[in-house]
Structure 1
């Protein structure tokens, strides 16, 4: 894809911009295969590419400029705002919404936070779009002082952007490169964004994680469900479950599924989805994935892990290696940490793998691997 921001030198975030998308995906596939190494019996499926543009369902915009002329995008080397509201990797729904949100900043007199002087209030705008066009809009503020103005002018925003389902304020008082704070103030009656995804409807609260690329996330969960259907496990753990993407896609009559996630808000969303779907055999717990596994008195037929970029870590990888868990489904956003974890679990051998281009125009990727013992 062509990017005017890259051509003008305003943004360098998409480091692979200009490389044909098919070549990008082939490079990622080759890199993942090289990092994971040779494993007898490992079958690699063709990589999943999807669309190379308009794929991002979430815009994480730093707010700069002034009340009268806010910028939504990134900061330059001097800490001043660079406007990227027409970014080509964001979904059309997001790019259509950003100008209205910029107008709202002016209307509600939300002074953009100025990093060099440490003055101002509005730090970030975080906007997520569901596949049906619904929006979750979050205003990250330094203090609670502007919240009354956000509330006052919210009806104007909802009139101009009726697709906004959830609007909230997040408080992040620290002068630090931190995207959001701990406290969230929901301003709408709805507290979760419904996200229809294949056969499942997820519920996304403001403080929760969801895959950035809806098209590729749909393919990821569908492939996981197909592999697991072949195994037909009676019991499944989904560790690092987030809002329950894997757990809910793997649910089946008579199958006990347990999801574990540190974020209480994400667990709230996952429980809402399970209850709405009538899935009595799917439950979710808020807690540490490693602690849950190490304290368990029984083991499941299948463990699903979707850890942060750093990977599982030695304690959980060691527990999986020493346990009698017959199958592990590992979804990774970093093949290097995945390779380290596989080296720590030699008894669990890769059987199937697939690279999914979750992040076109960058070197990042997602790789799904099915491991079986013996």
Structure 2
């Protein structure tokens, strides 16, 4: 893939841009194999490739420029907006919405936030597309000053974008380099975007996380579900469950599944999906994964645990609990093989036997790697 923004050095976020895709995939596989080389019984499956371009299901656009000439993209080193509406990572179905969004900024007189001057209102536009083509749009604002104007002109926007199902305002009053704030104001009757994955409708609320690459996320869930079905556990925990992707894929009528996630929005999304799917033995709770595990009684320990932590990994406390818990099988999905290797070293009784790299983020160094761990009673 070639990118004019990268070639012109206007955006260098995709650090592997221009590198042959086969080389990218091989390098990610080699890195994970090297970092987990101490585990000699670990068998690696073929990596899961992604389309090289047009794979993103979401656009996280910094708004710059002026009310009458807004930019959607990133900021340069001086805090000036760089317009990236033609970025090749977005599918055409997302790209066609960007001119409408810039027109709406002008129509509703939403002043882009000027980072160096610390003035203005509109910081980001966050747009997510479902596999069915529906859209969720979030306006990240400094204050509520522009909310009334957004509401006034929202019918125009929905007429221009009939696929727009969910719209909201997120308030981020602080001047700091984060994507969103804590408070969300819904603007539409619909509260969730349905993300159809492997025949399952996952509900996505505005502040819920979902993987950027839907096709590769679907492959990740299928792989984990296959390993779980082979293990045939009667009970499963999905720790750091997000909107319940793993938990809902491994649920069935004969299995008790509990998902744990700190985000109440994500838990609400997962609970709604479980209800719609009739999964009465699958429940979710808003809690810290480590605190939940450490507070469990021995009678509550499940047969199998799925963990999908952030880049820092599960950490020593949860790794220590898994090591001594007696849990027979663990499926560990990681976006950082270095923290994964550290966590595995803290769980010597849980032996990695299968691994797979999934290329969630082509053109970058990032990836997902999922491993199957089984308990070695003699370790």
- TM-score greater than 0.5 by the shorter chain: yes
Could you tell me which residue of structure 2 aligns to residue 152 of structure 1?
152
Could you tell me which residue of structure 2 aligns to residue 305 of structure 1?
307
Alignment of 1:128-207 (within 5 A): 128-207=128-207
Q: Secondary structure at the match of 1:353?
A: strand
Could you tell me which residue of structure 2 aligns to residue 327 of structure 1?
329
Shift of 1:23: 1.1
Q: More displaced, 181-190 or 33-42?
A: 33-42
Residues 99-158 of structure 1, C-alpha deviations (whole Å, 9 max, x = no match): 111111111000000001001000000011111111110000000010000000000000
Alignment of 1:67-82 (within 5 A): 67-82=67-82
Q: Secondary structure at the match of 1:101?
A: helix
- Mapped to 1, the partners of 2:174 and 2:78 lie a distance apart of 19
- Mapped to 2, the partners of 1:266 and 1:94 lie a distance apart of 24
Which segments of 5 or more consecutive residues in structure 1 lack a partner in the other structure? none
Tell me, yes or no, if the aligned pair for 1:171 and 1:181 is still in contact at 8 Å: yes
- Mapped to 1, the partners of 2:325 and 2:90 lie a distance apart of 43
Could you tell me which residue of structure 1 aligns to residue 316 of structure 2?
314
Could you tell me which residue of structure 1 aligns to residue 209 of structure 2?
209
Could you tell me which residue of structure 1 aligns to residue 372 of structure 2?
370
Shift of 1:232: 0.6
Shift of 1:94: 1.5
Could you tell me which residue of structure 1 aligns to residue 359 of structure 2?
357
Shift of 1:269: 0.4
Q: More displaced, 257-266 or 88-97?
A: 88-97
User: Which of 343, 346, 352 is equivalent to 1:344?
Assistant: 346
Q: Secondary structure at the match of 1:59?
A: strand
Alignment of 1:265-280 (within 5 A): 265-280=265-280
Could you tell me which residue of structure 1 aligns to residue 4 of structure 2?
4
Tell me, yes or no, if the aligned pair for 1:240 and 1:306 is still in contact at 8 Å: yes
Could you tell me which residue of structure 1 aligns to residue 234 of structure 2?
234
Could you tell me which residue of structure 2 aligns to residue 245 of structure 1?
245
- Mapped to 2, the partners of 1:195 and 1:226 lie a distance apart of 21
- Mapped to 2, the partners of 1:251 and 1:242 lie a distance apart of 15
- Mapped to 2, the partners of 1:113 and 1:92 lie a distance apart of 27
- Mapped to 2, the partners of 1:337 and 1:251 lie a distance apart of 28
Tell me, yes or no, if the aligned pair for 1:301 and 1:326 is still in contact at 8 Å: yes
- Mapped to 2, the partners of 1:14 and 1:179 lie a distance apart of 19
Q: Secondary structure at the match of 2:97?
A: helix
- Mapped to 2, the partners of 1:345 and 1:70 lie a distance apart of 51
Shift of 1:237: 0.1
Change (3 A) 1:7 1:40: closer
TM-score by length of 1: 0.99
- Mapped to 2, the partners of 1:330 and 1:91 lie a distance apart of 30
Report whether the alignment pairs 1:254 with 2:243: no
Residues 36-66 of structure 1, C-alpha deviations (whole Å, 9 max, x = no match): 1142332110000120100111111100000
Tell me, yes or no, if the aligned pair for 1:332 and 1:366 is still in contact at 8 Å: yes
Question: Number of aligned pairs?
Answer: 374
- Mapped to 2, the partners of 1:29 and 1:57 lie a distance apart of 24
Shift of 1:182: 0.4
Q: Secondary structure at the match of 1:82?
A: strand
TM-score by length of 2: 0.98
Aligned-residue CA RMSD in angstroms? 0.7
Residues 63-87 of structure 1, C-alpha deviations (whole Å, 9 max, x = no match): 0000000000000010010000111
Which segments of 5 or more consecutive residues in structure 2 lack a partner in the other structure? none
Tell me, yes or no, if the aligned pair for 1:199 and 1:249 is still in contact at 8 Å: no
- Mapped to 1, the partners of 2:29 and 2:325 lie a distance apart of 30
Report whether the alignment pairs 1:53 with 2:72: no
